[in-house]
Each structure stands twice: as C-alpha cells, then as structure tokens.
Structure 1
Amino acid sequence: MSTPDSRRTTRPRAQYEAPQRRGVTGPIVAIGAIIFLIAAGVVVYQYYQKVTSITVSATTANFVRVDDRTLNVEVDVNRDDVDVASYCIVTAMNYDKAEIGRREFVIEPGGNKVQRFKVDIPTRDLPVAAKVYGCATEMPSYLKP
C-alpha cells in the first residue's frame, strides 16, 4: 500500500517557484537619496552663507510725489561696518506695480550705523510707490570715485 507521501515524486523546486531576481532598484534609490541629501545640504549652506553675509540693508521710510515724473524717497540704511562704502538701489512704481524709475545712491564711509537718505527718482510714468531693491558693499565700477 502506498501512502500519500510515497506517491509524490521529487522534483526540483525551481520548477514551481519563480526565480529570485536580484534587482538594482534598491541601490539606485539609495544612491539617489544620498545625492539628493548632499545637494540639499549644499543649497542650505549657500543660503545660510548669503543670509549671514548681509552687512548693509535698507527700508523705505517715506515717499512723496514731487511731480508727475519725480518721486522723493526717504530710505533708512542700516550698516554693520560704517567704515566700508556701500550703495543701495531704490525703485519707483506705478499703479500696476511696474518699475518706472530707479536710482542708485552711494553711502560714504563714516557716519552712524543707521542713516536716513533722501533720494529723488526720475520716472517715466506717474509714480505712486517706492521700494528698496537692495544694497551691497561691493561697489560697481561706475559708482566708484
């Protein structure tokens, strides 16, 4: 008499199971994640360097329309090092918030850490607002004495 176990024929397992594949998806994802983290770290570091290196900044204190083509702007400039010359750019805008005039002005070495400057901006349209575009200590060649 045969038992159910004795009727079985032994066949290699390979016929019944799918072959195991060694995929490269896992290592590729890991390498991609590492590259992404390194790139993100570089971007964060550069942003931090840029933000902490700002040594001069400005804010618009007031502005008055002199006439239809001129805007007078008062700008408060804050400098970390008053011994370094710097410059700022202010812009005039129309009702559509489009830039219609721009003026650069130089802050000579010396003076207080916070100073107020009055700047007239010639415009090509009716000025209604002003804003500070930015400031820097690296003077462009056309502003150097």
Structure 2
Amino acid sequence: MTTPSPDRRANRYAAPPQTNARREGSGITGKAIVLVFLAILVAFLFYGYRYLQSREEINASISYVSHEIIDEDTLRVWADVTRNHPDEEAYCIIQAYDYEKAEVGRREIAIAGDGKAAIRISVDVPTNERAVAGGVYGCSSLIPPYLDTKDPQYQVR
C-alpha cells in the first residue's frame, strides 16, 4: 500500500488550522476576560471598603428591653442605647405596633452627649390606635435639622 501524496491528503482532509492565528485571537479574548474580572474585583473591594467605613461611623445602637401600655393612645418603651463616642449627640427612633404588626406610633428622641457609653431610656410613644408592642428602629449620629437636641420635647426622660 502506498501512502497518499501530501497534495492528495490536503484535498481529502481539511487543512490543519493555523495555530498561530488561533492563539492570537484567544489571547485577546483571554486578556479581555482577565481585565473585566480585575475591574469587577477592584469595584468590589472599593465598595466593600466604603461599606465598612460607613458602618464604623454609626455612633449609637439601640436594643429593645420592654414596653408598658399606658393608655389607649400611649405606649411606654424601655430601650438600651450604647454609644461608641459618648460625648457626641445621637438620635434614635422608637416604634409602637398593633396586633397586625403595623406601626401605629413612632417617636424620635435626641440623646445628648453626656459621657455615658450605655444608658437605659424610657420613652412614651404617642399612638393613633391601641398599641400592643413596642420596638426600636435604630440610631444615628446624623441628627436631622428639625430635631433640636436642646428641646425637652425630643430629649430622653
């Protein structure tokens, strides 16, 4: 048996792919994928850093302790406030709920920078319906302009 000539082989079978051209194309695609991956990684690290930095800026945190129904229109809520920087002012939001867990009252309170890192507060929350439970929403050191920390109406008792 004789082996076919190279010309006849080329006619019978497809020509072998040119490896150099294929490698160049896949190299560009591979580089593009790596660049996109690096861009996503850099963005993830940047936003992760910003998130952690913003979490550290929160001065105060609040935790619910108990509640007492004063009358049909008032709920008293006790909560513990813990501050990272006790000399800075903070404000917190206390809530009142009905049987369906709908919010029926809310009170924003200012906490003066008094040097105490942890305090227990008692807040009377006015409600528009009968409340059966209390809760806390959260705290912030960014006090809204309408909330005057010197006004006794908004201060902790």
Find the counterpart in structure 2 of residue 8 from structure 1.
5
Find the counterpart in structure 2 of residue 120 from structure 1.
124
Residue 117 (structure 2) pairs with residue 93 (structure 1)? no
Please list every run of 5 or more consecutive structure 2 residues that lacks an aligned counterpart in the other structure.
Answer: 151-157
Find the counterpart in structure 2 of residue 17 from structure 1.
16
Runs of at least 4 residues off by over 4 Å: none
1:18 shift after superposition: 3.7
Q: Distance in 2 between matches of 1:105 and 1:142?
A: 11
Equivalences for residues 125-140 of structure 1 within 5 A: 125-140=129-144
**What is the percentage of aligned positions where both structures have the same residue?**
33
Q: Distance in 2 between matches of 1:41 and 1:96?
A: 41
Equivalences for residues 48-127 of structure 1 within 5 A: 48-127=52-131
Distance 1:109 1:12, change over 3 A: same
Q: Distance in 2 between matches of 1:12 and 1:92?
A: 87
Alpha carbons 2:59, 2:90 under 8 Å: kept: no
Alpha carbons 2:69, 2:131 under 8 Å: kept: yes
Query: CA RMSD, aligned part only?
Result: 2.5
The one-letter amino acid paired with 1:134 is G
TM-score (ref. length: structure 1): 0.82
Q: Distance in 2 between matches of 1:68 and 1:97?
A: 16
Query: Which one of 35, 45, 49 corresponds to residue 45 of structure 1?
Result: 49
The one-letter amino acid paired with 2:16 is E
